[in-house]
Amino acid sequence: MTRPNLLLVMADQLAPQFTGTYGHPLVSTPHLDALAERGTRFDAAYCHSPLCAPARFSMMAGRSVSSIGAWDNASEFPASVPTLAHYLQMAGHRTILAGKMHFVGPDQLHGFEERLTTDIYPADFAWTPDWTAPDERIDKWYHNMDPLAEAGQAITTHQIDYDEEVGYTARRKLLDLARDSDERPFLLVASFIHPHDPYVARPEWWGRYDHEAIDLPDPIDESQIDAHTHRIRAGIQADTVGYTEDQARRARHGYYANTSYVDDWLGKLVATLVETNLIDSTVVMVTSDHGDMLGDRGVWYKMSFHEHSARVPLVMAGPGIRERPVPNVVSHLDLLPTLLDIVTDGTDWHDRVPDIEGRSLWELATGGKDDVSETTGEYTAELTSHPIFMIRRGDLKYIHCDADPPLLYDLQADPLERNNLAAEPEWNDVASTFACEVAARWNSNEIRARVLASQRARHAIHRAMEHTAGVQSWDHLPVNDVANHYVRNHNDVVDAALQSRLHLPTGARRRP
């Protein structure tokens, strides 16, 4: 098989449970639905860490948070860590990023030959937590209840501005790739910020939903809420400032509307592949960095290994991919080895790619079988003082933190995770086995010491960098070569028009 192009479309904070593709009765995602209908939908896919930067860094590297030091949203992604973009570049692909990847540090490319936009978040150490004072809020950037109080409609927001730029530049790049002379296959990552809070949508997407029909979170008994969830509630001020039922409904309404907004961009990008005759030679993948609790357990946003926060959509379609759902437990760690299997056409790459912790999903995507159904997770960011570890194996999920009682759920019998089996006598042996595995797999004390040392160093560097604000910046500045755009004195107006024209290929499908 000729090496295919790759289009990876990422949403931010999109839980699969809140898409029509994964069965939500209200949320409209027709373009993701269509992709799943002609491809593979993974029904138990997880992020490795339920926070933006750690989730993305571990996905890019195919390695765990603790192995690359991707502790939190202000952790530097080391330039010495090879990424999927590096490996695909070495395999002969052009590598292009449009949108958010939350890179922290002076390396803002990490293997991408081109980065078409800046990021929406800062690239420095400003957002570093402090585990020596885990109960103290950093009001400048910690989540609180404001997004619920402000949920609703607007003509535009900074997030809409950003995603319009991401979508435009990604679509423009697909057109450029179809009309330039470089015949290398490409990897294009189009990474949107929606439906991440604040839950504010433009009227045309808000208007797709009947406000009174918006569903509310299922109620939960206070006794079923675990220690970390209590910390999150306190950290986001859900237990003090709180929120009303109307605010919850408006927040969910905005989230659903913005999910449809991202889905529309997916549709535009796929339509561009169709009209440029690239669709049959391109593998399209869709995922998000993590989910959103959206009020479950009285909490919002992420930072939790409960299902609404830790699960992600994962859909792929294209040449060689079968049309079916896959129940196996998988994760972001598996994306890099999957891409390597796609672009190397079965050539053994394992000796050249050390330390990869995931497994390839290509066998599952192409109709084969895989007896493995498990993954792990690590959380080392704000609102905890100790690392939190997760093991998902088959129907069981085990969550461990040195500071908290353990959690064990049977997701087949209890998909909403209301019944902690770790406290049930008949599950003692299972819980003990998981506890022994956690102790063997992770050295919690050593990881905590590394996190604390990293936080101290980053706090010191950030204090120093504040004195050079506006002079010293790691934020990405996209190249915009306007001297060679459109018509200029060094080219002929007729030649410029002809060279930029992309004709409808013979036999091409017209835009749907």
Identity (one letter) of the amino acid at 322? R
Rounded to whole angstroms, the Cα distance separating 239 from 153 reads: 26
User: Which of 31, 47, 48, 52 is flagged as catalytic?
Assistant: 52
Q: Determine the angle formed by the axes of helices 245-275 and 30-37, rounding to 10 degrees.
A: 50
Which phi and psi angles does 426 have, rounded to 5°?
-70, -10
Rounded to whole angstroms, the Cα distance separating 116 from 98 reads: 5
Q: How many CA atoms lie within 13 A of 320 on its CB side?
A: 20
**Is 110 known to be catalytic?**
no
User: Which of 102, 143, 253, 308 is flagged as catalytic?
Assistant: 102
Helix (H) or strand (E) holding 263: helix 245-275
Q: How many CA atoms lie within 13 A of 300 on its CB side?
A: 25
Helix (H) or strand (E) holding 147: helix 146-149
Q: Is 428 helix (H, G, I), strand (E, B) or coil?
A: helix
**Is 52 known to be catalytic?**
yes
* Spatial CA neighbour of 33 closest among 256, 362, 266: 266
Burial of 90 (0-12, 13-18, 19+ CB in 10 A): middle
Residues recognised as catalytic = 52, 102
